[in-house]
Amino acid sequence: MIPHKVPPVVRLGPARLTEGLDHCRRLDLPAHRTIHGAPAPLDLESLIAQVDLVDLRGRGGAAFPFARKLRAVAGNRSERVVLINAAEGEPASRKDAMLLVRTPHLVLDGAVLAAEALRAREVVLAVAADSVPFASAEAAVAERRAAGVAGAEESRLRIRVIGLPERFITGEGGALVRGVNGETPTPPGRKRRAAHEGVDGLPTLLSNAETFAQLALLARLGPAAYADVGTPREPGTLLLTVGGETVVEAAHGMPLSAVLDLCSPGADLGPGVLLGGYHGTWLTAAEARTAVLSRAAGTPLGAGIVLPLGPDTCPLGETARVAAYLAGQSAGQCGPCRLGLPDLARALLALCSGEGSPEAVRRAARSVERRGACSHPDGTARFALSALDVFATDIASHLDAGTCGRPVLGVLPLPESPAEPEYRLDVDWTRCEGHGLCAHLLPEFVDLDDFGYPAFRPVPGGMLREARRAVEMCPALALRLA
């Protein structure tokens, strides 16, 4: 399989994960073996010892110690499964897609090493359905079968690729397990650790694609050579997605400014840089210029996403636009997501028009923190609250004049969505008593005249749930939805 278009890759320092990609669009199995060799199987104790020596952490955003996951799964005596999380729901991330499209066997090598050490029954790779990474992953599994490279241990090991819907929350651990198990890929209502109850109810080693690729490199190089780059506390390299397109492999400890200058030499960063994705944190341009690629140094790397705004777009408008997207991407199964996130999005939109206040945004964000069935409300609140701190000057302009004078250019990438139907609110004037509750619940779509009676604007499909809520709560039962 040779993809027509592949994610671009650049480097700061030695090529580790991206070795060989200067000359090949995609490393098929023979090319992969030429560059990376065939990994030698490791027993569980040896594998955990190597992982402990370099303190390998998960690269999906939470930076959870990988050795602790291995021990947790190994502590269960039943059959085990290895699950690769490549359902990259973050619209601004491309690193896991790059790995699957361009060097998929590196990811599979790491997963197979872990599966052999754990004596797991199968490796499952979960990725967005009907995508290029999905096709490349299936081709890689087929290449392995055709080449007969499995060997005695791997021959009993099943490898399968599962396609899941491409949504923001699909990559959440509980949602991913549910999707692989044939259920709706939304977070479960209660916390379930995959290490105890994962795929088919079995103990499951769950980590993201880059983590398994790093594991393959560690096994090939050994801890000492793996730690030749990076810092003593964070050895090795990491993958970043810069500007929503370019994947950068850089060593831990390098200045973030070097990454930004490599991708856009001399570019004006504008009022801020988003680190970690849409559950991440905004930094001022000055903070970004002094940050280093190190979680130990306090840099919130998250899922390795770096998004400089540039000087020409409205930062508050960009934040509000993403907050509205995140509100629509929730599972809608708990109050903080179903009610709180739309309230937070509305508070940001009101602030953009100069009619809201930072205090209203803070209240809406605080109302969802640590109350959801998953971390989606917490991440969205963190994103919004950091914008209030970093864009204080811009917010003052919006409050004074209703605008900062810059358009919203859509610099922060969002997925293209099909055109949504629009709905219309109607009123039975024989019943309406001008309570004004509909305008309170749907301020973007309902205006009140001087006498307190409503006038309506079309409601997009993404707000249908909130419109129905307004209809149900009308005290005079005068509101209808068409």
pLDDT of residue 151: 38
Contact 347, 132 (CB under 8 A): no
Closest by CA position to 175, among listed 126, 221, 228: 126
- Domains annotated for the chain, with CATH where assigned, are 9-226 (3.40.50.11540), 315-401 (1.20.1440.230), 422-481 (3.30.70.20)
Give pLDDT tens digits for 389-447. 999 999 999 999 999 999 999 999 998 765 567 789 999 999 999 989 998 888 878 98
pLDDT of residue 154: 46
**273 pLDDT band (50/70/90 cuts)?**
very high
Closest by CA position to 232, among listed 321, 296, 160, 185: 296
User: Does residue 153 have a pLDDT over 60?
Assistant: no
Residue 142: CB atoms within 10 Å: 13
Mean pLDDT of 122-131: 95
**127 pLDDT band (50/70/90 cuts)?**
very high
pLDDT of residue 186: 87
End-to-end, the C-alpha distance of the chain in Å comes to 49
**17 pLDDT band (50/70/90 cuts)?**
very high
Pick 171 or 206 by higher pLDDT. 206
Give pLDDT tens digits for 279-288. 999 999 999 9
User: Does residue 309 have a pLDDT over 70?
Assistant: yes
The DSSP call for residue 462 is G
**387 pLDDT band (50/70/90 cuts)?**
very high
**148 pLDDT band (50/70/90 cuts)?**
confident
> How many angstroms separate the CA atoms of 229 and 213, rounded?
16
Q: What is the pTM of this model?
A: 0.87
Handedness of CA 25, 30, 34, 35 (dihedral sign): positive
Residue 441: CB atoms within 10 Å: 21
Closest by CA position to 387, among listed 460, 462, 466, 326: 326
> What's the residue count for the chain?
482
Mean pLDDT of 20-41: 94
From residue 297, how far is each of 65, 74, 99 by CA, in Å? 17, 32, 27
Residue 85: CB atoms within 10 Å: 28
Closest by CA position to 456, among listed 429, 479, 420, 425: 425
pLDDT of residue 225: 96
Give pLDDT tens digits for 215-242. 999 999 999 999 999 999 999 999 999 9
